[in-house]
A and B are shown apart, each in its own frame.
Chain A
Amino acid sequence: GAGVSQSPSNKVTEKGKDVELRCDPISGHTALYWYRQRLGQGLEFLIYFQGNSAPDKSGLPSDRFSAERTGESVSTLTIQRTQQEDSAVYLCASSLGGSGEQFFGPGTRLTVL
């Protein structure tokens, strides 16, 4: 079946603009994760959704970052007033429940000029 998909694959934006990144998880997966990978660094956890529970937002680096998820489907990660340090690959993963194997999307490469 289809894996996790993300769009766009690449996004170039100017400093100060808002961007919206999209993640389509695997159908039936109740858990969804967003990670950020800066060049030369490991993945950083950003936010976690599990079913109808309140999301774990503990990894969001600032209030410019927010994410939403509609039910157990699509999620969007929004970055307002982008800064150059926001340049990174943003990865989405989904899993069957909160303890299942995480399946990753191909990522969105964000470049802030």
Chain B
Amino acid sequence: GDSVTQMEGPVTLSEEAFLTINCTYTATGYPSLFWYVQYPGEGLQLLLKATKADDKGSNKGFEATYRKETTSFHLEKGSVQVSDSAVYFCALSPNAGNNRKLIWGLGTSLAVNP
């Protein structure tokens, strides 16, 4: 079945460091890919998305490119801030009719130190 694998955390970085959180997927069709973020004490929020191969999603300085050849959707940010400390989830929506139920990775916790 469809699945998402993302790198295990926790990830600890200093402010202004470069961030990469790896995400790879397995899907039989043509899924849409998402990164969600959960800040401490808050609900899940959509960070960015890409709906087809080679699309790049971007938001708040974060980017991820939908790579069909490597079945990957790695999240990157050039210079992290303390306020980026959160748990990041990679997810996919299978191309199966109109049902957009999401399949999730386990989440990667990021802590950014000043």
| Chain A interface (Cβ < 8 Å from any Cβ of B) | 3-4, 31, 33, 35, 40-45, 48, 50, 56, 59, 91, 93, 95, 98-107
Asked, given contacts A50-B98, A59-B101, whether A42 binds B106 with beta carbons under 8 Å apart, the answer is yes
Chain A CB within 10 Å — which of B42, B43, B46 has the most?
B43
Looking at the assembled complex, report how far the CB atom of B6 sits from the nearest CB atom of chain A, in whole angstroms. 9
Q: How many A-B residue pairs have CB under 8 A?
A: 54
Which of A56, A98, A99, A105 has a CB less than 8 Å from the CB of B43? A105
Count residues of chain B with CB under 8 A from any CB of chain A: 20
Which of A40, A48, A101, A106 has a CB less than 8 Å from the CB of B101? A48
Cβ contacts under 8 Å, A41 to chain B: 106
| Chain B interface (Cβ < 8 Å from any Cβ of A) | 4, 36, 42-46, 49, 89, 91, 98-107
Is A99 in contact with B98, judged by CB distance below 8 angstroms?
Answer: yes
Which of B98, B99, B107 has a CB less than 8 Å from the CB of A42? B107
Asked, given contacts A42-B4, A43-B89, A106-B43, whether A56 binds B99 with beta carbons under 8 Å apart, the answer is yes
